């Protein structure tokens, strides 16, 4: 035991460091671009814009990532306070508030990057690409940046039907056309802004790059089902940024980095090496966005034998093949390669027989417990941590229902931890650790219950 106590609780992947470092290049590239007078876009993380912008040689910088970077270095505080001074209500998204504070500082310094900005800072945007996907903040926030920048804003539309309506025949095709037309409009706009024409083969390149990265991320995640869990969610988060933010900008390097990571994780699986340097007492899933300012909290949990083997956010989708023979339109090819119907997702995830049950369930209940909770079963989790964010409605509202469904289906209990993505003052590590200790009782109890019910884990 004493030997173990000396080692660090987490056993990080070596291949992670190189990938994590790639993210800094985003800000370097931004800096250089500004110097060379290349257009810089501030972009929201979503499925479509990044590859397109990079195909048009527009440098993409992600304020969402930058805000979490500030938080991770405990430097977000002053920016948050500045946004309060700017008159923004304090309950708004922490990413947005940090970004507003940053923008206000920038204007104050006539467009210069604030000296206190970490990682070289974000250059002034020529273009803001907001997203109607995932949450309202992502278009309201960029719209309100008009107070600070004269950069035009494009809010990229994407459909977000609820599961039941999504299964209605015709919905998928309509939404596909919606995406195709929206992206065409978007490209027209970009051509206007940059004065350049889109080179469609480039889009093929950046697009396929991101698809390849998604493929590798998905394969790595499949490996994570092993016991003991070979890759901790902290490593997942550390490389997530490189994959999602830099994938389209520098596909070859990012693909290579993920290939290396795949090999390392595979090696760990083959030699049953765990992601934590403690006996794997509990396997858990982390639901919600990461507490960027307090990631070390997960180390103290790892120290108690908690291995976070999966997570709900930023997960790669299962790769799929579509027959595009006869599809010549580059935008349509781009969309059809990555947008698929919920029905086919269900078919592939569950296999014909269970799939039809899941679909019935959706038609009956409006949503499917099985669909939402399947990773808990696949990764055989003993418990789930629900990160309720005090500044994020969309990530927080559904969590408790999820917890009920989970307990009800698989007898897997959930622990609610209140905190925030950015604002340290909203997270209480001492309280949370206390609750975690109590939660071990609960996980033990339900492990017994699952056993008595003859469940797989």
Partner 1 sequence: MAYYLGIDIGSGTSKGVLLHDSDIIAYHLRRSGVNYKQVMKKLREELLEKAEVSTSDIVGTVATGQGASMVDYADIQIADIRCCARGMNKVFPEVRTVVDVEQQSTQVLRINKQGQIINFITSERCASGAGRFLDIISNVLQIPLEEIGPLSLKSDNPVIFTTACAVFGESEAVSRVAEGISKENILAGVHKALAEKINSMVDRVGKEPEYGICGGGALNAGLIEWVQRRLAVKLLVPPQPQFITALGAAIFARESGNNKISS
Partner 2 sequence: MIPIYFTGIDLGSTMTKVAIIDEHEKLLAFVVQHTGAEHRRLANKVMEEALSKTGITIDEITYVIATGYGRINVPFADKQITELTCHARGVANFFPNVRLGIDIGGQDAKGLKIKDGKLLDFVMSDKCAAGTGRYLEVVAQTLGLSLDDLGPISLKSKSKVSISSVCTIFAQQEVINHLSAGVPLEDVVAGLHDAIAGRVARMVRRLKVEPDVVFTGGVAKNIGVVKALEENLGCPVLVPSEPLLSGALGAALIARETIMKAQAEGKPIVKIARKLEEVTFFK
Partner 3 sequence: MSAATKKGLAHVQELYLDRTQRIRELKTEGKKVIGYLCIYPVTEMMTALDLIPYRVLGDMHESITKADTYLPTVVCPFLRSCLDLGLKGKYDFLDGMVTTHICDVGSSLSGIWRYTVKTPFHYNIDTPHTTHDTSLNQIKGVLKAFQTAMETFAGKKITEANLISAIKKHNEQRALVRELYQLKKPDPPLISGAETLKTIKAIQSLPVDEGNTLLREVISEIKIRVNKPVKKNARLLIWGSIIDDIPMIEMIESLDANVVMDDTCVGSRAFFNDVAITPDPIDGLAQHYLIDIKCPRTFRTRDFYAVKKNYMDDLTSRFSYLLDYARDWKANGVILQSVRYCDTHGYEVPQLRDYFKAMDVPSIYLEHDYTVGALAPMKTRVQGFLEIIS
Part in contact with partner 3 (CB under 8 A); list of ranges 58-66, 152-160, 318-326, 447-455? 152-160
Q: From the list partner 2, partner 1, partner 3, none, which binds 81 (C-beta under 5 to 8 Å, kind-based)?
A: partner 2
- Residues 265, 262: Cα–Cα separation, whole Å: 5
**Is position 96 an interface residue for partner 3 (rule: CB under 8 A)?**
yes
Half-sphere exposure of 180 (CA within 13 A, CB side): 17
Residue 442 contact among partner 2, partner 1, partner 3, none, beta carbon within 5 to 8 Å by kind = partner 1
Backbone Cα Rg of the chain: 22
Stretch of residues binding partner 3 (CB under 8 A), selected from 240-248, 251-259, 295-303, 397-405 = 397-405
Per-position x/- string for 422-441, each x denoting binding to partner 1 as judged by CB under 8 A, each - no binding? ----x-x--x--xx-xxx-x
Instruction: Decide: is 89 part of the binding site for partner 3 (CB under 8 A).
Output: yes
SS3 assignment, position 386: strand
Does 171 help bind partner 3 (rule: CB under 8 A)? yes
Other CB atoms within 10 Å distance of the CB of residue 192 = 10
Q: How far apart are CA 298 and CA 232, in angstroms?
A: 10
| Angle at 77 (CA atoms; ends 73, 79), nearest 5 degrees | 105
Please list the alpha-helical segments (H only) found in 233-295. 233-246, 251-270
Q: Please tell me whether residue 299 binds partner 1 under the rule CB under 8 A.
A: no
At closest approach, how far in Å is the CB of 160 from partner 3? 6
CB 308, CB 404: distance < 8 Å: no
Q: Is 132 exposed, middle or buried (0-12, 13-18, 19+ CB in 10 A)?
A: middle
Nearer to partner 1, 172 or 306 (CB): 306
**Euclidean distance between CA atoms 260 and 257, whole angstroms:** 5
Q: Which of residues 101, 121, 123, 413 is near partner 1 by CB under 8 A?
A: 413
* Of 2-10, 82-90, 168-176, 296-304: span binding partner 2 (CB under 8 A): 82-90
Under 8 Å between Cβ of 134 and 155: no
Contact criterion met (CB below 8 Å) for 124 and 40: yes
In whole angstroms, the minimum distance from the beta carbon of 431 to partner 1 comes to 7
Give the separation between CA 309 and CA 40, rounded to whole angstroms.
Answer: 36
85 is a site residue for partner 2 (CB under 8 A): yes
Site mask, partner 1, residues 355-394, x = CB under 8 A? ----------------------------------------
Q: C-alpha distances in angstroms, 357 versus 61, 347, 410?
A: 43, 10, 17
165 binds partner 3 (CB under 8 A): yes
> Which positions lie near partner 2, rule CB under 8 A?
81, 84-87, 424-425
> Which positions lie near partner 3, rule CB under 8 A?
86-89, 91-93, 96, 130, 132, 135-137, 139-141, 143-144, 146-147, 149-155, 157, 159-162, 164-165, 168, 170-171, 174-175, 178, 181-182, 185, 188-189, 192-193, 365-367, 388-391, 393-394, 396-401, 404
């Amino acid at each position: 035991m004493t030997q173990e106590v000396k080692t660090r609780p987490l056993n990080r992947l070596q291949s992670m460091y190189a990938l994590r470092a790639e993210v800094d290049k985003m800000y370097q590239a931004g800096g250089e671009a500004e110097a060379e007078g290349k257009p810089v876009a501030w972009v929201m993380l979503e499925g479509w814009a990044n590859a397109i912008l990079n195909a048009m040689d527009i440098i993409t910088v992600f304020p969402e990532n930058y805000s979490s970077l500030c938080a991770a270095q405990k430097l977000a505080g002053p920016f948050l306070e500045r946004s309060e001074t700017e008159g923004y209500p304090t309950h708004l998204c922490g990413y947005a508030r940090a970004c507003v504070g940053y923008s206000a500082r920038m204007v104050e310094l006539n467009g210069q990057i604030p000296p206190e900005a970490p990682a070289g800072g974000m250059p002034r945007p020529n273009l803001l690409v907001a997203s109607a996907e995932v949450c309202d903040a992502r278009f309201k926030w960029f719209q309100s940046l008009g107070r600070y920048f004269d950069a035009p804003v494009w809010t990229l539309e994407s459909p977000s039907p609820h599961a039941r309506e999504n299964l209605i025949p015709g919905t998928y095709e309509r939404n596909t056309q919606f995406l195709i037309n929206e992206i065409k409009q978007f490209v027209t706009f970009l051509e206007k802004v940059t004065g350049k024409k889109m080179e469609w083969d480039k889009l093929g390149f950046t697009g396929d790059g991101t698809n390849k990265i998604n493929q590798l991320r998905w394969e790595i995640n499949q490996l994570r089902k092993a016991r003991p869990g070979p890759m901790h969610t902290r490593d997942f988060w550390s490389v997530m940024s490189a994959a999602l933010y830099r994938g389209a900008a520098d596909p070859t390097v990012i693909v290579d980095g993920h290939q290396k990571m795949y090999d390392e994780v595979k090696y760990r699986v083959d030699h049953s090496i765990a992601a934590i340097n403690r006996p794997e007492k509990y396997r858990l899933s982390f639901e919600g966005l990461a507490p960027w300012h307090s990631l070390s909290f997960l180390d103290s949990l790892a120290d108690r034998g908690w291995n976070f083997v999966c997570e709900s956010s930023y997960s790669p989708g299962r790769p799929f093949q579509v027959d595009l023979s006869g599809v010549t339109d580059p935008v349509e090819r781009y969309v059809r390669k990555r947008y698929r119907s919920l029905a086919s997702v269900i078919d592939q995830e569950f296999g014909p027989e269970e799939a039809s049950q899941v679909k019935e369930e959706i038609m009956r209940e409006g949503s499917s417990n099985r669909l939402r909770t399947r990773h808990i079963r696949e990764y055989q989790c003993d418990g789930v941590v629900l990160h309720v964010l005090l500044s994020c409605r969309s990530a927080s509202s559904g969590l408790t229902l999820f917890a009920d469904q989970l307990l009800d289906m698989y007898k897997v209990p959930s622990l609610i931890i209140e905190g925030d993505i950015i604002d340290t003052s909203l997270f209480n590590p001492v309280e949370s650790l206390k609750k975690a200790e109590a939660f071990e009782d609960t996980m033990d109890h339900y492990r017994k219950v699952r056993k008595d019910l003859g469940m797989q884990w």
